[in-house]
Amino acid sequence: MSLQDGIAAIKKHLKNMPPKPGVYRMLDESGQVLYVGKAKNLAKRVASYTRPEILTYRIQKMISETRAMEIVISKNEAEALLLEANIIKELQPRFNILLKDDKSFPYILLTADKEYNMMTKYRGARKRDGQYFGPFPSAGAVNRTLNILQRAFPLRSCSDSVLNSRTRPCLEYQIKRCTAPCVGKISAAEYGQIVEDARDFLQGKTKFVQEKLVKNMQAASDATEFEKAAQYRDRIQVLNRIQSEQKMTMQNVSDADVIGLYREGQAVCVQVFFIRGGNNYGNRAYFPSNSAGMEEGEIIAGFLGQFYQSNHPAREIYVSHKIEDNTVIEDALENNAKYKVRISVPMRGDKAAFMKNVVMNAKDAMHRKMAENVAHTKLLKQFAERFKLPEMPERIEVYDNSHIQGSNAVGAMIVVSDEGFDKKSYRKFTIKNSNLSDDYDMMREVLARRFKRAKQENSALPDVALIDGGAGHLSTAAKVMEELGINEVKLIAIAKGAERNAGKEEYHMLGEKPFNLEFGSQLAYFMQRIRDEAHRFAITTHRDKRSSDIKKSELDGIRGVGAARKKALLTHFGSVKGIKQAEIESLQEVEGISRNIAEMVYNYFH
């Protein structure tokens, strides 16, 4: 491969390149996408790749591998930016900046579709009626916030079915975290006022809400309603506590995403802080890959394109470094968000001071990550040495099964990479064709499905397959690999040790006697962590499947009875047993149940 060959390939495509906005893809000789870029003028942008003297080493290397190009024409540059981010996310080209952790953030949802609305954690598409407050950097951050808010705004946290079926207040009412609308302890109007207070507070109207509660407390005290006044006092104290815990905030800023970048050699950390309603909702660190040879502003531009693919932007986005195509990114974000978005670099005052703290947090996060990587690399080298691998493994796959007497049987695969647990690569397998009383057979099915698909898709294989089990499981795995013609994967089985004590596990490898690792050693602890994570993922998968089955109703099998009719029947009769005992005429009394449907329900149970 040479740079001149790549330039020649690009010049060949340049002849028919239109001077229009769009997205281009660089392909290698096997058709794999090397790089995805966007341009206001495709012909002009692609022509720049034929002048190596103005290109960085990273881009020159990419061009030297380029043998073909593909383009997609767009209406404008903003549309091209959105398309570019989508393609990068899907194809993960190795010469683009890649944002590995791109999952959506959780929000607090204040519902608006109930008589007695509620605050709850929410993640995913915004399909439910109500107002969304966030994002929060993690589910834990949302849970902690809800836990505190529930004391200041005692709204219900129970499901609709629980709300409608209670006959006396629950424990939440006793500990003053709910006002018990389920049994009429509060009127709908008074409850609605608490909902409004919660909404105002989450929107940043903190002072207004506090002043209102102070007035209510004084009025209750003047009316000698001292218990009610004490409740207002407690709520005011909680709000004061929330305000005192806001250590990093921006003056005169209501909603903003503050994004700071820190670079040290080839390593990059991007720190994002979320300011909503004047409150600091927390932060998260990202470590984009493939950023070598790129300017800081270029890295942030690439980060923004991918980050906001799955997250809603704030109206104000503050960044630590100037971005070249600032207005294009703003236009693209506005197209998605349907409101004005402004990107700027704070230069002075409180905003600049806040950004300095954000960059400092990015620096600290990078140093912690580097320390973790050094320790992890050391453990992988010990692993390679003890288990006789030719080099340090880049990918270890760990397999485990979970079931209860053969029911809801699942297989689970976790992945350990050179950067730690790679949770995006975890996989679940519903056991379909195996003898559910035979653990070996279930493991055979999971491994066969995983590696057969890998061969069909010509995808990369792991360096190591670590099987939860003993010599029998190892033998089963070896037979699967032999049948599929795979011999480059190292097979290791890990069995429970003496007295099932953690740290005393027994290891099995083909052609070798079983052995134990030194008890209490770093490697033994590392292997224990890997195995525990595989167990956790397998058991969680099994519980989710079991919970899903429990939620299934006997009504699911009745043709013509969907979610709405099922709900109407259960609300009317109180239980499936009541529906079973009902006559056709009684069934017809339910709203939405015709004579024909009533007969179908009756005949189903008789």
Tokens for 191, please give them. 């409850």
Of 176, 209, 244, the last residue of a domain is 244
Instruction: Tell me the pLDDT band of 143, cut-offs 50, 70 and 90.
Output: confident
Residue 344 pLDDT greater than 90, yes or no: yes
Does a structural domain hold residue 251? no
Contacts of 150 (CB under 8 A, 6+ apart): 119, 157, 177, 178
**Structural domain of 517:** 395-549
| Same domain assignment for residues 435 and 520 | yes
Same domain, 127 and 82: no
Has residue 104 got a pLDDT over 60? Answer: yes
Kindly state whether residues 178 and 271 are assigned to the same domain.
no
* Of 292, 342, 287, residue with least CA distance to 319: 342
Evaluated on CA atoms 372, 373, 379, 383, the torsion sign reads: positive
Phi, psi of 253 (to 5 degrees): -125, 125
The token pair at 78 is 């903003």
Looking at the fold, whether 492 and 593 belong to one and the same domain comes out as no
* Helix (H), strand (E), coil (C) string for 35-89: EEEEECCHHHHHHHHHCHHHCCHHHHHHHHHCCEEEEEECCCHHHHHHHHHHHHH
pLDDT of residue 207: 81
Place of tokens 């692993």: 383
In a domain, 303, yes or no: yes
Same domain, 595 and 569: yes
350 to 252, 341, 347, 357, 411: CA distances (angstroms): 9, 21, 9, 11, 53
In the numeric block, which tokens belong to residue 294? Answer: 């790129």
Q: Which of 340-354, 384-398, 564-578 has the lowest mean pLDDT?
A: 564-578
- 114 and 17 belong to one structural domain: no
pTM of model > 0.75: no
What would the pLDDT profile of 573-603 be if each residue is shown by its tens digit?
777 778 888 888 888 888 888 888 888 888 8
Count of other CB atoms within 10 angstroms of residue 391: 9
Q: Are residues 532 and 491 in the same domain?
A: yes
Do 405 and 544 sit in the same domain of this protein? yes
| 386 in any annotated domain | no
Domains identified in the chain, total number: 5
216-257 pLDDT per residue, tens = 888 888 888 888 888 888 888 877 776 655 555 666 788 899
Rounded-to-integer distance, Cα 59 and Cα 45, Å: 13
Q: What is the CATH number of the domain that holds 265?
A: 3.30.420.340
Domain end marker among 244, 276, 293:
244
Task: Find the DSSP H helices in 92-205.
Answer: 139-152, 160-165, 171-174, 188-202
Residue 141 lies inside a defined structural domain of this protein: yes
Q: CA dihedral in degrees (451, 456, 462, 466; nearest 10)?
A: 0
Bridge-based pairing state of the strands 464-468 and 490-495 = parallel
What DSSP string describes 295-318?
-HHHHHHHHHHHHTTSSPPPSEEE
Supply the pLDDT for residue 249: 64
In-domain check, residue 373? no
